[in-house]
Amino acid sequence: MTISSISLAGSTADDPRDNLDADATESPLQLIAVSSATTVDGMPTLRVVDPRSAAKIAAELGRQRGVDLDTDALRRLVMSCVEPVGFHVTRHRVGTGWLWIVETRQFVTMFTLTPSNDRLGDQLIYAADPSFGSRTTNKDGRPVGHIAVPMPESDGTYAKVVYTASRDTLMEATDRNCLAVRDDNPQYDIGPDIIHRSLTTVFTTLRYTGGTNELEQVSADGNSRLASAYAQITVDPAWLPQRLRTQYEGARPTLMPSMLMQCDVNERRDLTRKIIKANEDRLALPERSTLKDLKERNAAVCALNALTAPVQVIVGYEDDDPEHGMERFASAVRSLLVRMNVGVKTFDTGAQNAVIAEEIVLAAQQSEFFDDEEVALLIGREDVTKVMTAYGLDPELRDLRAMMVIAKCSVNATRLNKAMREKFSAKKVMLKHRSAVASELILRSYGAVMTPGDLDRSRNALNSGCIWQSLVDRPWDAVVVNDDEGVDRVLRGAVEELAPVGEKETVTGVPGPFARLLGVLGMVALVVGGGLTSPKGSSEKEIGDPIDRSSVGSIVDKLTTFPWGLRLLAENIKRNRAGMPLLGVQVPDGTTDIEHFDDPTASVASRDARLRHAVRIATQGRAEETAASAEENAFNELCRTITLADDAFQTYRSIRSEDPSPGLLPSHQTDGPIKKLEFMAKALNRMTAEDQDQ
């Protein structure tokens, strides 16, 4: 059957402008052969695999060592291939074992993108956010933002992962992922050229709530390449099953994941054949020296070049501990992607920390440190209302979930520390590791109500150190603080711990559990409310005097040693919960007095600078610089410079990664920097105290 309705197949030029000679800037593109199949005229072509042949080849593949897929998955794998011959199973090392992989070339119409792209992990709206339901759609029902779907679980028997959610949620999340990576990392060479760099795919069961289980093959890595390939392939609604045509009536959409996810494997094979035939028919028409003809021919070439991709299909898993079987398969897949940085673009720090945080929580669950309720609360991909209520906490108060996250991440326990060491590849657990985990999990309560800029600012602040040493070393409890009365109760306890004496409230005690609890809630309020951010040297220019450049956790820890600091924290907890501007503090010129300022128009930078200045004056005064303060300032400056160096290094890596095959750097260029970095790391390690039982 000849498909005559395709708009590419324009054999006449009704518009006089189409009779112009082809523009010199529009050059003919070349169709690149990716299979040995040819037409009767000897032209390269593509053919889908016959189901009967696929069954035989699938049975042979299933007998190879390392393959742990059921019959349906193996048959689907083979039917998706351009030429299913010569399968060779190889294994790749991950943290907990080995992943078994086959490399082949497949039709991109036979698999789709993942519903949960780990590269977007720090940009998603999570169900832990109390505004999740109302903020993920506009009034007219159109989607807003990127939805975090429930985490994939291991199948338990086969090398497959399982997503459990409604059909609409999974299709919508997959479409959003497709559009997001297409915009963020477009691959303009796909279409004019074929896809050269392999995608990594994994077989997946989509367990639709209240519905059926459907088998899918998804691209765990290479999403931007796949999305860019889809963008080159337009679909005539007449090629789709009858039940889907009305969705796209009157349009010629580009290929989208939801379109494919509504088709079974046989319907996708049929769609693939029609795409091939329509575009090959267009190329078979006689060439004409018009711009319209050239554009249509090039569009057909792009569609055919983009229709296939080299794929590394994960077909099996071998755990280092045979007793685990397939339990850790899902974690192993994620670990492969993050550790090997498969793809042209490395993970951003926030996205990488988001993945590592989830891996740590799941590893701690496997060691029976966290129970199911704690895991649900920490990861936040599902509604946490029931869990929060079971703890006696108001699920509408975001800072209470943040309090629980910090409480769980600051526990100095052997099983949790082991998970952190393994996932961060560190010899010992440092505060920076705990803070990196906590910061990403905390912000999952704020994605629907904070702008991307405010989220980035808060992430940088929390990553500077949102867990301080006394939270790890000394006892404190996350307790019910559901209202202003609860905040006042904690404040009274914290002030009593300091035991202030006299009108000037000379402190005779030390911060205790109440002060630490108030500090945690107050820190969250200051950071997300815009009163405290990551330390910056520019703040000193605004104040005209040195400030305290330590981490946000260190600033709050110091605030808890002063009665005025405790009151500031308590007041801002209440204000932040009420959506009011924060109360600030400042030091009048030439004095050491701490006074409040209540200016709703004050900028984040101004509030932060004044608070850091007040903390420095309160702890050091305006006296001559002491040896201790000089050391602290020098260390803070060192940390700032290291951060700048890391930023420069990441920029260099990003530029270097644009070259698909960068050459190795000559040793005379790298020897000096490497030796300096190694010397600094060793020296700083010797100066660092270890946490107990880390």
Same-domain status, 538 and 576: yes
322 lies in some domain: yes
| Whole-angstrom distance, CA of residue 513 vs CA of residue 313 | 52
Same-domain check for residues 329 and 396: no
Report pTM.
0.72
DSSP 8-class letter at 163: E
Mean pLDDT to the nearest integer, 177-196: 91
Beta-carbon contacts of 363 under 8 Å, excluding residues fewer than 6 positions away, are 331, 418, 419, 422, 423
Nearest to 108 by CA among 219, 242, 253: 219
Residue 686 belongs to some domain of the structure: no
Q: How far is CA 628 from the centre of its chain?
A: 40
Question: What single-letter DSSP state applies at residue 136?
Answer: S
Inform me whether the pLDDT recorded for 163 exceeds 60. Answer: yes
For 47-71, write each residue's pLDDT tens digit: 998 888 899 999 999 999 999 999 9
pLDDT for residue 173 is more than 70: yes
Task: For residue 155, give Cα distances in angstroms to 15, 77, 118, 206, 395.
Answer: 57, 17, 19, 11, 31
User: Based on the domain organization, do 457 and 498 belong to the same domain?
Assistant: no
Question: How far apart, in whole angstroms, are the C-alpha atoms of residue 560 and residue 557?
Answer: 5
Q: Could you say which of 339, 358, 385 is where a domain stops?
A: 339
Query: At residue 103, what is the residue type?
Result: E
- 168 phi, psi to nearest 5 deg: -60, -40
Q: Are strands 97-107 and 89-94 parallel, antiparallel or unpaired?
A: antiparallel
> Average model confidence (pLDDT) for the chain?
86
Rg (CA), the chain: 29
224 and 311 co-located in one domain: yes
Q: Are residue 262 and residue 408 in the same domain, yes or no?
A: no
pLDDT tens digits for range 216-239: 999 988 889 999 999 999 999 999
Number of domains in the chain: 3
Relative to beta strand 199-208, strand 153-154 is unpaired
Q: What letter represents residue 313's amino acid? A: V
What whole-number distance in Å separates Cα of residue 562 and Cα of residue 511? 9
Residue 158 domain flag: yes
Nearest to 330 by CA among 151, 476, 469: 151
The pLDDT value given to residue 6: 32
pLDDT of residue 15: 44
**442: containing domain:** 348-467
Beta bridge partners of 91: 100
SS3 state of residue 139? coil
Quick one: which of 284, 288, 297, 295 has its CA closest to 19? 288
Domain identity same for 428 and 554: no
Any domain includes 681? no
Q: Which of 640, 619, 641 is nearest to 629 (CA)?
A: 619
Closest CA to 223 of 205, 253, 199: 199
Question: Do 526 and 461 share a structural domain?
Answer: no
- For residue 407, name the pLDDT band (cuts at 50, 70, 90): very high
CA–CA separation, 635 and 551 (whole Å): 12
Q: How far apart are CA 98 and CA 319, in angstroms?
A: 6
Query: Do 463 and 479 belong together in one domain?
Result: no
CA distance 146 to 118: 12
The better pLDDT of the pair 359, 622 is held by 359
Question: What count of other Cβ atoms lies within 10 Å of the Cβ of residue 334?
Answer: 22
Euclidean distance between CA atoms 144 and 448, whole angstroms: 9
Is residue 637 domain-shared with residue 538, that is, in the same domain?
Answer: yes
> pLDDT-based confidence at 342, cuts 50/70/90?
very low
Q: Which of the 8 DSSP states describes residue 25?
A: T
The phi and psi torsions of 220 (rounded to 5 degrees) equal -70, -30
Q: Within this chain, do residues 315 and 419 fall inside the same structural domain, yes or no?
A: no
Final residue before a domain boundary, out of 339, 369, 400:
339
φ and ψ at 471, to 5 degrees?
-65, -30
Answer yes or no: do 461 and 479 share one domain.
Answer: no
Q: State whether 296 and 395 are in the same domain.
A: no
The residue type of 420 is M
Torsional sign, CA 269, 275, 280, 281: positive
Round to whole Å and give the CA distance between 610 and 234. Answer: 57
CA 177 centroid distance within chain: 11
Whether residue 102 is predicted with pLDDT greater than 90 in this model: the reply is yes
CA–CA dist 574, 189 (Å, integer): 53
Whether 478 and 407 have beta carbons less than 8 Å apart is answered as: yes
Residue 20 within any structural domain of the chain: no
Assigned domain for 669 exists? no
For the ranges 9-23, 339-353, 534-548, 621-635, which has the lowest average pLDDT?
A: 9-23
Q: Point out the domain boundary residue: 306, 339, 372.
A: 339
Q: What is the distance between the alpha carbons of residues 97 and 254, in angstroms, rounded to a whole number?
A: 39
313 sits in which H/E element: strand 308-319
pLDDT at 451: 87
Give residue 149's identity as a one-letter amino acid code.
V
Mean pLDDT calculated for residue range 574-596: 90
